[in-house]
Structure 1
């Protein structure tokens, strides 16, 4: 709209405001007059500085937060809870809103913003060994430690591991330690080697069991 026309409208509106006698009419005219005056002022400013009026405000870039993955933690358990202990120096002194933990049925994600908008530590476990109750799980801050209380879905059940990955890893290690039969050797020789290996690596009960089995085997064969 032409700024000259707007100025004329403003003048006429001011005349009407002076001539009006009813308060309601004056209020209505006053509101419209202020709108016109504001528009005139905006156009005058734009005409005086056309560059700044077209500039688009630049958004400030969001700070990049460096995330460090937590790999070490300690754990304990009771009949009702799995307890996860995460050591982070000075965590007890941080504002509460900078320490958060989300619980899932078989997962949790702990995030600690150690330096605001700069550095964050995170412990994320997505494959807990057993189900937990997210609504009844919680955490609290202790000196240099975050304690996570994971409410067991099955009370009284003992967890031998924290995650299913740890269970699978232990099973694989145990399987690799088992002596294996050599298909290229005589079956009896392979069996003797396997039993000797089990005897050398076994505990006292295992040694007694294997020795007894050897003795019985020799007696049946009539060996010395």
Structure 2
């Protein structure tokens, strides 16, 4: 029972006693006590609204958990002026324009898509195959696709998108002046370069090297390199 309810019941009992009292002194004492209880009841009501019960705290509302997703797959083609990347993301066109951001430097691009069905997507390419013009580069949002246009600094034909892929292709290409030692072991040069790049590179470079190697070699030759399996 709340304090307000107790005071009301006490006041009712005292009013009953007041009606039954026959002596004036008794009536005066009961009246004083009734006024005290009414004053206390008014004070409590003003401080707490209608009762002295503590309000139940309202639970904080939290939104759904947002997951971070790093992108690795994209399609690409090129013209004399642009290298075009196509990143498939279902319903990306439903996002506000400020939720899709792509930044460019001479040798890198960084795409971020925020809040797409409780996921934030990130596609960083930190070492492009050739230099680009950041000011002339751009992106467009289409149905389920983000199209990125990397403006070439020169109309050079790109053999691939990243510098890592380019070095791997160059290492695999036959040398015009082969070293006699390398001729006896045609894989030694490639293996040596890839191992060096793998040891010195960051996590993204290591994954790219391992993927490129596995895609271009059969299972037996791929396991000849001491690369971790992803």
- Which category describes the TM-score, using the shorter chain as reference length? 0.3 to 0.5
Q: TM-score when scaled to structure 2?
A: 0.46
> What TM-score do you get using the length of structure 1 for normalisation?
0.47
